[in-house]
Structures are given as structure tokens and as C-alpha cells.
Structure 1
Amino acid sequence: MRELAVQALSSVPRGYDLLAPKFDHTPFRTPDAVLDAVESALRPMGPFATGLDLCCGTGAGTGVLTRLCGEHVTGADFSAGMLDVARERIRSDGPPVSWVRADARALPFAPAFDLVVSFGAFGHFLPRELPGLFAQVRSVLRPGGRFAFPLVAPPRPGSRGYWALLGFDTVMRVRNALWRPPFVMYYRTFRLGDVRRELVQAGFRVELYALPEFGRRRDGSPRVCLVVARTPDGPAAPGGPTEPDGAAEPDGPGGPVSRG
């Protein structure tokens, strides 16, 4: 608890530097089940030559890219501590892997990637930052490239999950009102309706794919979907997308699975 308190009172990069050695043992690391489901959904959309794991953390998503991409994979994060752990943790038997310290809002890459993935980092971006963030992703993709990330359907109002996320966001807002530097991490600000609109305005075509591994809610909508934003130069994915009803609610908060 003391360590988490120190991290929470730091800046976002410094907080993750401190957390990095133990990050893979926390609930914040993206579960393997999510990584495997995303990999299975993306594989038919390939082949991919080059991939970027945006806000890679300790490299959980980077490992997925090493199995999907044939030529080269890059992990980018603004935390030097997380990158240090990722370098030690990820050993690729396939394409070479590079690690780059970079802010997702100012990516230092040319249009060199066929696939960009991100797992659970979007809570670190305020809604007003999404246009710039998505424009940056668009700028590093080759023609026909794809930007993919998983989204959990929003918890029903009044449910335990709803109150947990609301409580977390409230605590973070109080913390940021009283303490500097701010620690931006909000689970309820990444709304699918807003995200789809900003992706389209950035030049993407947006498709939603249900991840059947996580089942469906009582209303029949999927619990988790994969958002795939592609440049208009590329062909549609084999089989075409599905439209997950509940996960696509334009006003529902669709929080990221977790950072990793």
C-alpha cells in the first residue's frame, strides 16, 4: 500500500518507473486470456510485416506482435522503467524487437507499421487528447494498416463494477485537484461513441469484432470486443466485422481492459 501511494502521488511516467519491477504481478497487467483472444482475432487479417505496441508497458502486447508480424516489432512507452523490464522479459524467436521511449502524443516514427496495437493505456489520455493521439497513430501506419485494441462493454448502472469504476475515477479527480503533478488515469472517459467519431475524423474506417472467448451479457451483446481502425487503402478483414450491440453503446463508458 505504501508503494502504491508513492506511485499514485508521482507523475504518470515516474509512477510507472516505480511500479515496473512488480507490474506483471499486479491486476493492471493485461490478462493472457485477453492477449490470446486479440491475437486470434487479428491473425486472419494478416499477414503483417511490421508492428507497433503503443504504450507497451512491460511488453505483454509486444509478445503478441512477435507472433503476428514477420519482419520487425517495436514497443514504445514513456516509462524508462517499464521498457527496461520489457527488454529483459521479451525474447523473440521470430522478428527482431526494438524498444523506444516515446510519448504516444508525439511519435518519432515514419509511416512504417502495418499493425498498431494498444492494451489498456487509454485511461491516461483525456478526451480532448484523443484527436491528436489518433492522428499520431494514423501518421505511423502504412497504407492499409490497422490500429487495434480491445474494449470491455460498460458495466450496467448500479452494478458492482459500475460503482467500482465510478469510485476509482472520483478518487483520481480529487487527488488531481489537490496534488501536483497530476496522475491521469480515468476508466470512464474512454467512451466508444466518442472514440469511433474521433477515429473516423482521423481518417480511419472503424470495425468492431466480438471476442467470443468472453461470452455475452444477458442482453446478448458481447462482453469484450476488438476495435479495428484501418486506413481506407486496405481491404476489409475476412468475414467482415460484427456490430456488438452493447459494446457499441455510444454513451456508455467502455474502459480499457488494463495497461500492459
Structure 2
Amino acid sequence: MFSPQGPSLRELAVQALSSVERGYDLLAPKFDHTPFRTPDRVLDATAEALRPLGPFGDGLDVCCGTGAGVRALAPLCRGTITGVDFSAGMLAQARRARPDAAWVRADVRELPFGAAFDLAVTFGALGHLLPAERPALFAGVHRALRPGGLFAFPLGAPPPPTSVLYWALLGFDAAMRIRNAVWRPPFVMYYRTCPLGAVRDDLAAAGFTVTTVPLASLGRRGDGAPRGRLVLARKPRTTGA
């Protein structure tokens, strides 16, 4: 799962026993050599699905990490691209890789932007927020978008209970809950806390109009369901917000 340039087992253990922010600061120099980075095929599938809806003006990558999401944003946006994350280490890596983008350190539950962007994306970040924290994130993204702006992010299809992946993710989340019950500071990283229905409800409560489209290039499961969907949350062009 890890390349020779990736973190050692000891480094991963130290990260897992840290806070989310400190853990990612430690992991940042080797993060792109781990399976935790969003795969290029997911980034490319997202860009492919968004292309017919653009072009867009200014873009925002929420929980940008080392800046991999810029791969999806760059071909779609004619204006500036901004990444926001609370890990200084991850942002330092992003700045080295893409000095042409703007990088902002902030807590995404309190985004410091107002009506400045036309497209916002996030990749793999929702599992770092407890369900009760999602409304604050979605409200902040809503404020950050101009009227008519779009918030988009991929969600994978839930694996069937008969699959190895289903039990692997269930086991990981259970282990993480035990870890957080007995160790401080907590490290929030869960794979099964973002079902599409709950996410859709939270987006609608924040003022978005929500649709989804299949990520066609990711293929379909054996039952015919798409392996991934792109959630498209549109801020109305006329709003009282």
C-alpha cells in the first residue's frame, strides 16, 4: 500500500496518536506516497464530470492537504485557485508544488471567505469531521460561493456487506472509536460517517440545491450501481443569505 518513499510503521503510529492537525503536520512530507492521498483517477473523474458545467471563475479546494485537488481545479477555473487547510505542514508541501495558487491556513469549520468563489471542491475530507460538524463546513462553503456557485465532491458507493472492504472499513472505524475513547487528543478519521442521504440533508439545510451524477470513468459495481458519484451542491443565484 505504501511506496518506499512513504512513512514507516513507526511514523504512522506516531501520527495516529497525535491530534488531526499535528498528525498531518508530521505526515505531510510523505503524504503523497501514501494511499490516503486522493487517487488521480478520482481527481480526473471529478474534473471530467465538472467540465460540461464550466468554465468557472475562481476555485476553492477545501481541506486541500498537499494540493492534489488543484489537479481537478486547474483546467476548470479561469481565475485564481485557493487551497485552505489547517495543517501548516500540508500547506507547506502544497506551496512547493503549486506556487501559482493561493494557500490559506484556517479551520474549515470557520471558513474565512465571503462570496469569493465560483467553484469549491473537497476530496476525502468529510471523514475528518464528525457528523455534527458538517453543517458548519457546509454553511461556510455556502458563504464562500458567489450566487450560482457550485460545491462539488466525490462520494464512493458503500461496499456491500459481503465484501472484504465493507468489513475492513467497519473494523477501521471501530478501532478509531476505541482509540478516541481511551486516548487524547482525538484523531477524527472515519470512513462510514458520510452516507449520501445524510450529506444531502445537511447540504439542503445549508441552502444548497443538491443533485448527483455518476462518475462514469470509475465504472460500476457488480449490481450495476456506479462506484462513485459526484455530489453537486448549487448555491441559488438569488438568495437571502
Q: Same fold by TM (over 0.5)? A: yes
Q: Are 2:211 and 1:200 aligned?
A: no
1:57 aligns with 2:77: no
Letter in 2 for 1:4: L
Correspondence for 2:90 among 70, 82, 91: 82
2:133 matched residue in structure 1 = 129
Identity level (%): 67
1:123-161 superposed Cα distances (whole Å, 9 cap, x missing partner): 011111111111111010000000000010000013101
2:77 is the counterpart of 1:69: yes
User: Is contact 2:210-2:232 (8 Å) kept?
Assistant: yes
User: TM-score normalised to the size of structure 1?
Assistant: 0.86
- After superposing on structure 2, the runs of 4+ consecutive aligned residues of structure 1 that deviate more than 4 Å are none
Q: Render the CA deviation track for 1:90-134: whole Å, top value 9, x for unaligned.
A: 25xxxx410000111001111100000000010011111111111
TM-score by length of 2: 0.93
CA distance in 1, matches of 2:72, 2:213: 18
Deviation of the 1:218 alpha carbon:
2.2
- 2:182 maps to which of 171, 178, 185: 178
| Structure 1 residue 63, shift from structure 2 partner | 2.8
**Cross-structure match for 1:211:** 215
Gaps of 5+ in 2: 1-8
Question: How far 1:232 sits from its partner (Å)?
Answer: 2.1
Q: How does 1:114-153 map to 2 (within 5 A)?
A: 114-153=118-157
Return the alpha-carbon distance in structure 1 between the equivalents of residues 27 and 182 of structure 2.
Answer: 22
User: Is the Cα contact below 8 Å between 1:56 and 1:77 reproduced in 2?
Assistant: yes
Q: 1:20 aligns with which of 28, 35, 50?
A: 28
Residues 30-49 of structure 1: CA deviation (Å, up to 9, x unaligned) = 11111111111111101111
- 1:157 is aligned with what amino acid? P
Number of equivalenced pairs: 230
| Structure 1 range deviating more: 61-70 or 10-19 | 61-70
Matched residues in 1 for 2:69 and 2:112: separation?
A: 20
Task: Letter of the 1:150 partner, please give it.
Answer: P
Distance apart, 1:182 and its partner CA: 0.2
Comparing both chains, which one has the higher relative contact order based on Cα–Cα distances under 8 Å and sequence gaps of 6 or more? 1
Match for 1:154 among 154, 158, 164? 158
Which amino acid is 1:206 matched to?
V
- Please name the residue that 1:224 is paired with: 228
